[in-house]
């Protein structure tokens, strides 16, 4: 049986993406057939900087572009190319030429310099497919889905609306159909029954409505945020919903930084990503770790198989 094909978006070429792809290639090809969305000229330039060679079975899907790779620098050229590589990978999935997209890290400032309107991969996917993509990060030991992502902390409370949160939970259920999911409160002590805030009343109602719709008690909460990630609590739950970015990702990265992946749910295609940035400080120094990328490949294959079955 032939191995599934995975489209790999190479990310910001001034960062560690291509280094990771090259170093992990032999291991990844045991799992799937990767197609790297980059052209030979830029790949060759990268391998010269890394003082390595291009593997013979390194399959490319050509993406137009020609510029000087500047390790560790933020440039509009590299920002634009990372966008073009991502769009090529999406097209491969839309045309059924690949089973999933796995992305290397982009740099948000470089996208802005390139005149791109998107805040990142997930924002682009949301607008491209006109679907409310859900960002979930983690590993098999713990996954965290983010109700809000890249917005100022001052705006989080006002986004906790009953209809919006209920829809979010139901969309999450479509991809996580059986596992119990702990929903965190917003305030310290989950509001202490209104003493420290009343957003938890909305969260409680949303949980009740979602559970009624799915037909069982899948969602639990609101859970007091400062105990949710303790070993005792995680003995019973490894899927969480965080109300805001740092509430979920600070404990996740403290516990599982090297092995976590980023997964986009509630979309017509499968997309996973490494859960780290461009690492400009170590770009082209042959120091980047490959574990998150390999886990992203494995997660993509599992999700693609689940969608197909």
DSSP state string for 73-92: ---HHHHHHHHHHHHHHHHH
User: Residue 158 corresponds to which tokens in the numbers above?
Assistant: 């006002």
Structural domains of the chain, with CATH: 1-131+267-309 (3.40.718.10), 134-264 (3.40.718.10)
Residues with Cβ within 8 Å of 231's Cβ and at least 6 positions away in sequence, in order, are: none
Claim: this prediction has a pTM higher than 0.85 = yes
158-189 burial by CB neighbour count: b if 16+ within 10 A, else e?
eebeeeebbebbbbbbebbeeeebbbbbbbee
Query: Which pLDDT score, from 0 to 100, does residue 1 have?
Result: 64
Residue linked to tokens 């400062």: 226
* pLDDT tens for each residue of 45-91: 999 999 999 999 999 999 999 999 999 999 999 999 999 999 999 99
Section 181-194 average pLDDT? 89
d(CA 295, CA 309): 21
pLDDT higher than 90, residue 297: yes
* pLDDT tens for each residue of 233-272: 999 999 999 999 999 999 999 999 888 999 999 999 999 9
Higher pLDDT, 18 or 192: 18
Residues with Cβ within 8 Å of 211's Cβ and at least 6 positions away in sequence, in order, are: 217, 218, 219
118 neighbors 111 (Cβ within 8 angstroms): yes
Query: Which pLDDT score, from 0 to 100, does residue 248 have?
Result: 94
């Amino acid at each position: 049986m032939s191995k599934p094909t995975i489209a790999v978006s190479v990310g910001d070429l001034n960062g560690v993406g291509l280094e990771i792809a090259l170093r992990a290639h032999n291991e990844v090809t045991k799992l799937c057939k990767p197609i790297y969305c980059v052209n030979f000229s830029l790949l060759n330039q990268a391998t010269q900087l890394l003082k390595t060679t291009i593997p013979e079975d390194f399959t490319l899907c050509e993406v137009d572009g020609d510029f000087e790779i500047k390790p560790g620098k933020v440039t509009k050229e590299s920002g634009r190319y990372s966008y073009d590589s991502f769009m090529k990978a999406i097209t491969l999935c839309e045309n059924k030429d690949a089973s999933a997209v796995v992305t290397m890290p982009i740099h948000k400032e470089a996208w802005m310099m390139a005149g791109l309107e998107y805040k990142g991969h997930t924002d682009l996917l949301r607008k491209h497919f006109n679907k409310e993509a859900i960002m979930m990060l983690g590993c098999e030991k713990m996954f965290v889905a983010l109700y809000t992502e890249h917005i100022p902390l001052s705006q989080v409370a006002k986004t906790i609306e009953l209809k919006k949160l209920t829809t979010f939970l139901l969309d999450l259920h479509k991809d996580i159909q059986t596992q119990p999911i702990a929903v965190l409160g917003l305030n310290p002590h989950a509001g202490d029954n209104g003493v420290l805030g009343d957003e938890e009343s909305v969260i409680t109602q949303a949980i009740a409505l979602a559970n009624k719709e799915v037909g069982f008690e899948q969602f639990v909460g609101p859970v007091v945020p400062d105990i949710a990630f303790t070993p005792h609590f995680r003995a019973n739950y490894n899927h969480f919903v965080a109300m805001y970015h740092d509430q979920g990702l600070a404990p996740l990265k403290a516990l599982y930084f090297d092995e976590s992946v980023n997964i986009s749910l509630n979309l017509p295609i499968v997309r996973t990503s490494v859960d780290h940035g461009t690492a400009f400080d170590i770009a082209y120094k042959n120091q980047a770790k490959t574990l998150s990328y390999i886990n992203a490949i494995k997660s993509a294959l599992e999700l693609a198989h689940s969608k197909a079955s």
